[in-house]
Structure formats: structure tokens, C-alpha cells
Amino acid sequence: MEQVQKPAASGQKHKSDRRFARTQDDLLTTFRDLVLSRGYDGITVSDIVERANVGRSTFYEHFENKDDLFRHSLRSVVPALADAVCEDCDRARLDMVVRHFWDRRDIVPTMTGGSARVVMIGYLAEEIETRLARRRRQTKRAPALPLHLIAAQIAEAQCGLLTAWIASQGVPAERVAEALAASSQAIATASGL
């Protein structure tokens, strides 16, 4: 009976998956460091690939452009903020994300200003709109405005509150998270959802 050997590619694939993830992590770290030192508007893809010591083609295997890289860096926080429009949102997770913003207050002004703000608000609004659509299906109500406008209003309000809180300090993260959830749900309700 012949022994069946596993193709070498399966081991290579696992190794390349780790390499892919490591390269992506390196690009994200480089991006964060450059944003801290130069600001979002002050960096380019060329700056990122040069500092990360990777080729442009490698960058584009991972991300479409600088904005896509930024959106990717927000994947751990944006869904929790978007969930704030849901009455059953995970408050512990929202508290954790708000605390994360406080812990990263050195980078928040860069994330919430200039063209970075447009990217962040756009991504957050897309995620909020998804949740508002679900809420509309559950309530079977027609909102007063198109969902994308309601989502944009909520995203701007959330970003504004976080930015003002970081600048003013003094309020516990839990109270800010509570205010984010209450105001986000109030806007959705006032819009007819």
C-alpha cells in the first residue's frame, strides 16, 4: 500500500499566512508610528512602504490605499461604536473601546481631524447604517430621513463627543460610553426608528 503524502503547499500556506499576517502587522505599526510623528495628512503610501521596508506591490497585496489601511486599523473599535445604536449593545465592550480611546489619546486628534476624520466618519457611518437597517426591519417603521443621513449624523455626534472628551478630560470613560449609547439611540428613535 502506498503512503499518501500531504502536499508541501499546505505547510507553505500556513507559513505564508503567518508571513502575510506579520507583514500586515508591520504595515499597521509603521502606519501608526508615522501618523504619530507626521499626522495622517503628512504621510503617503511611499512613506509607509519605505519605513516598513516592503515593496509597493506588497503593500497593495494587503491594502488598497492609505485610507484602507486606516480603516483596517479601526476594525477593533468601530463595530462597538456602531453597536451603540442598538438597545441591546454590549456596554462592557463599548466601555472598553472608550477606555481604549483614552489610552490612545495621543493619536485621537490625528484620527479625528483632517482627511482622517472623513475616513473614520465614513467607515463608522457605514457600520451604523447596517445596524439601523436591522433596526428598521425589526420595528417596521419608515424613518424620517434616509438611513445614510441618520448614520452620518450619529457617526459625527459620536466622533465629536469622543474628541471633546479627550480634549477636556475629567469625565470617567463609563459615563462617556453611557452618553454615546444614549445619544446614538435617541437620534435613531427621533428619526423614526
- Residue ranges per domain, the chain? 9-65, 78-190
The phi, psi pair for 32, rounded to 5°, reads -60, -45
**What pLDDT is recorded for position 136?**
92
CA distance 156 to 97: 17
Q: Which of 65, 97, 62 is nearest to 79 (CA)?
A: 97
**What pLDDT is recorded for position 139?**
85
**What pLDDT is recorded for position 69?**
96
- Residue 185 Ramachandran class (φ > 0 left, ψ -120 to 50 alpha, else beta): alpha
**3-class secondary structure, 3:** coil
**What pLDDT is recorded for position 22?**
92
pLDDT (tens digit, 9 = 90+) per residue, 46-86? 999 999 999 999 999 999 999 999 999 999 999 999 999 99
**What pLDDT is recorded for position 107?**
84
Q: What is the mean pLDDT of each run of 10 residues along the chain (193 residues)?
A: 37 63 93 91 95 95 95 95 95 96 88 91 98 92 92 97 89 95 96 90
**What pLDDT is recorded for position 2?**
34
Architecture of domain 9-65: Orthogonal Bundle (1.10)
